[in-house]
Amino acid sequence: AIKAQDYELYKEQVLSKVDVFKPVILYGLEFMYSRDPLSYFEGKNFVAKVNQEIKKLTDSKLYKNGFMGQIKMLVFVKGSSKEICNLITEEIEKLPNRKNEIILCFGN
């Protein structure tokens, strides 16, 4: 196992072997959870956090061609009203070039 904290070793053993047809990371996954009911304001803030995290994931994929193959983010929202879930869905759909990378999961 190589930890990215040892950046010199990481560069030598991982980044030097990046190949467009054989990505180092096949699938980058990010999980986000909201377990408590969200208010309108909290829903908006949650979407902002989702956007921030998917941007980091997208940046990792684009970092070096062949570094990361695919990305997906699973967003779980539990206990929020239907109106807040609709708000979150609508706001996620507005995110540029990100709605296909985010899977929303709602529950009671």
pTM recorded for the entire structure: 0.78
Contact 57, 101 (CB under 8 A): yes
Question: Each residue of 41-77: pLDDT tens digit?
Answer: 999 999 999 999 998 888 878 777 777 888 899 999 9
The one-letter code for the residue type at 17 is K
**Phi then psi for 100, rounded to 5 degrees?**
-80, -15
Question: Each residue of 8-44: pLDDT tens digit?
Answer: 776 677 767 777 777 877 888 899 999 999 999 999 9
